[in-house]
Structure 1
Amino acid sequence: MRTFRRFRSDSRAIEGLPIRLVIALVVGVASLGVMMNMLSGVGGLTVAELDAKPDPAVIGPESEDIDIVVVDPDGEPVEDATVVVTGGTATLDDVETETTDEDGEVSVHVAPELGPNQQEGTLEVRIKPPAGSDYADERENTAILVIRD
């Protein structure tokens, strides 16, 4: 009974609690950061970003064929990816869609148009990764620049 009264009258017990909680929180967040960094290095849990490399990357507002290579982060070609070319600030009559071959290449025929007072515009390139792959296309790809001569 005597011990209970001593704790009951002791108001210092709460003083160290907030700092202990802050220390535990900081240590926990640091540990979580280290674990997440370790997990991001595991290949099976991550996806690889695809990129499109158009050639030529600059064209005029006339009918033209553009070769596009789809590559993974290591620069290796990606087969069976679907390349979609749409109008950005330049316009296209239709959306152009092609599937890459074993070399990761497609050839797309475009006929971009610029507005009456427009000197330049862009065509956007998107990639639909092959089905069942660990690829993604979440970042913006290289745009095709259309320039009036």
Structure 2
Amino acid sequence: MGRRRRFAADTRGIEGLPVRLVIALVVGVASLSVMMNMLSGISGLAVTELDVQPEPEVVEPGDHTVEVSVVDPDGHTVSDATVIARGGSARLDGVETAATDEEGVAELELSPELRPNQRDGTVEFDVKPPAGGEYSDKRENTALLVVAE
């Protein structure tokens, strides 16, 4: 038998390793760059969160007409959305709903009440975004503050 080479003494495998790693790294970075460029061109993945702006923002207990604007993060109003008012820490008799007009404003007739010895409370709003839009309402919206005299 001839001389046997020992694996520990063979240094040829180490010579090609750094070059292969550099090539794999370059190819990986190039592929990642192409994929990120493709994803940034897709606008269908973006969802815009909606919020409300009640006017007036503070009321006393009793009957009130409250205009609620539905807005996107840039402050632009959204039409054809449905606004739902529910009693938070202030009480409402049931749930009130209204749709926003072309200007993004919904009018709600609200009669909030406070419990005995309660100084203030809130009426909470939810928004059902218009169908077919890229809007959502996952976060808590601005509330209407009800303050006793």
Q: Distance in 2 between matches of 1:54 and 1:85?
A: 11
Question: Are the structure 2 counterparts of residues 45 and 6 from structure 1 closer, same or farther at C-alpha, using a change threshold of 3 Å?
Answer: same
Deviations 1:53-72 (A, max 9, x none): 10001001111110011112
Unaligned 5+ runs, structure 2: 14-20
Secondary structure, counterpart of 1:138 in structure 2: coil
Structure 1 position 35, deviation (Å): 3.7
Dislocated runs of 4+, deviation >3 Å:
1-5, 38-42
Partner of 2:86: 86
What residue is the counterpart of 2:18 in the other structure? Answer: none
Change (3 A) 1:128 1:62: same
Contact 1:79 1:130 in 2 (8 A): yes
TM-score normalised to structure 2 length:
0.75
CA contact (8 A) 1:40 1:46 kept: no
Amino acid at match of 2:104: G
| Offset from partner CA, 1:28-75 (integer Å, 9 cap, x none) | 9xx69x949x84684321111111110001001111110011112222
Q: What amino acid does structure 2 have at the position aligned with 1:92?
A: L
Question: What is the aligned partner in structure 2 of residue 97 from structure 1?
Answer: 97
Aligned residues: 134
Deviations 1:73-94 (A, max 9, x none): 2222211100001010011111
**Structure 1 contact 63–109 (Cα < 8 Å) conserved:** yes
Provide the residue aligned with 2:132 in structure 1. 132
- TM, length-normalised to structure 1: 0.75
What is residue 47 of structure 1 aligned with on the other side? 47
C-alpha deviations, 1:101-124, integer Å up to 9, x for none? 111011101111111011000010
Tell me whether 1:59 sits opposite 2:59 in the alignment.
yes
From the CA coordinates, give the structure whose radius of gyration is larger: 2
- What CA distance in whole angstroms lies between the structure 2 residues aligned with 1:131 and 1:118? 39
- 2:46 equivalent to 1:69: no
Counterpart secondary structure, 2:94: coil
Q: What is the CA-CA distance between 1:141 and the residue it aligns to?
A: 1.0
Q: Distance in 2 between matches of 1:135 and 1:80?
A: 12
